[in-house]
Structure 1
Amino acid sequence: MNSLEINASGNFESWSPSKIRELKENKISNDLGQNLLFENENLRIWEVVLLPNERLPFRKINMDYSWVSLTTGMAISRYADGKILLMRIEKGDSAFLSCKEKTYIYDLENKGDDILFFHLTEFKHQTIKKYLPADVRLKSKKPSNN
C-alpha cells in the first residue's frame, strides 16, 4: 500500500460539515468492519466490502489488528485529528497495526472505480501478546517499490 497525506493533522478546513458533525455527535462505531465473520475469546474476524464511493463510517480502534486486501483500489481515510490519507491499495497488501494502549478514530471511503474487499483480524484484549515470546516484534509487510 502506498499512502499520501493530503490533509495535515489539526486542519479541518477541507472537511465536509457532515463529517465534522458525525465526530462531534460521537456517531462512532466500535465495529472494525461491516460483517463479523467469526468471534471467539481471543479474536474477531471482520469483512469490509466497499462499492465505489461507499464509506465505512468512523470507528473507534483500540485493539491490535491485521488486515489483508483482496482487491486493488483507491481509498481515503479521515482521522479524528484532521489528518486525511489517500491510499493506493494493491491486492495482497497487508499490515499489522498495534494500538499500543491508545485509541484511534478514522473512517474509510472507496475513491476508486472498483470494489474494495478486506479481511481484518482484531485481537481482543491484546491477547496476541500472551502467545508471543517477549523478544518477538510484529512488523507490517513492506510494500515493494515496483
Structure 2
Amino acid sequence: MTTKENQKAKLLKYTSINDAGNFNTWNPDHIEELKRNKISPDLGQKILFENDYLRIWEVVLLPKERLPFRRIESDYYWVAGSEGLVISRFSDGRIILMHLEKGDSEFLQHKDKHATYDLENIGQDILFFQMTEFKGEDMGTRERMKEVLKRNTSQDL
C-alpha cells in the first residue's frame, strides 16, 4: 500500500447526528454545563510530558465515561490507542459520532479561534487517547512540528 493509499485507508469515520443550532435532542444537564461556563482549558485528563513547545496529554475513558466540555485554543494532534465509539458535543449544538480504530489520528488547528466540546465513550471498551498540544505562537516551530507529525503518521501504525 502506498503512503497516499494508507492515508486514505486511515480516514476517520465521523457521522453527524445533530446539526448546529439544534439543542432539542440534548440532555438538559449538558446544556446547563455549558451555561455555567466553567469550562476547563485542559485538553485531557493527565499531563504525561511538557516542555516549552508542547504538552502531551493522556485521556482514558471507561465505557459510558465522559470528558466534560473543554475550551480548546491550541493546535493539537491526537491518536487513538484503542478502538471504540465516541460522541462529541460542540457548543454550537453539533453532535458527531466517531467510529475509532486503534491508530486513528488527526491534527486539529485552533489558531485564532477556539472550540468547546466534550468527549463521551458510548462503547463497551475502555478508550485510550494521547493528545499532543502545541504551545506558543512561534509559527516556525508550529510548522516544523506539523511536518514531523505528517512524516510520522504517514507510516503504518
Q: TM-score, normalised to structure 2's length?
A: 0.82
Q: Which residue of 2 aligns with 1:15?
A: 26
Quote the residue 2:43 is aligned against: 32
| 1:6-85 matches, cutoff 5 A | 6-85=17-96
Deviation digits for residues 77-134 of structure 1, max 9, x if unmatched? 000000000110000001111113100000000000001100000001244x31337x
Where do 4+ consecutive residues of structure 1 move more than 6 Å? none
Equivalent of residue 111 in structure 2, options 94, 100, 116: 100
1:90 lines up with 2:73 in the alignment: no
Shift of 1:65: 0.2
The alignment-based identity, stated in percent, is 58
TM-score, normalised with respect to structure 1: 0.88
Task: Tell me the SS of whatever aligns to 1:31.
Answer: coil
Match of 2:121 in 1: 110
| Contact in 2 for aligned 1:64/1:97 (Cα 8 Å) | yes
Structure richer in helix, relative to its length: 2
Q: Please tell me whether the aligned partners of residues 68 and 92 of structure 1 are also in contact (alpha carbons under 8 angstroms).
A: yes
Paired residues of 1:76 and 1:84 also in contact (CA < 8 A): yes
Structure 1: state its 5+ residue gaps.
none
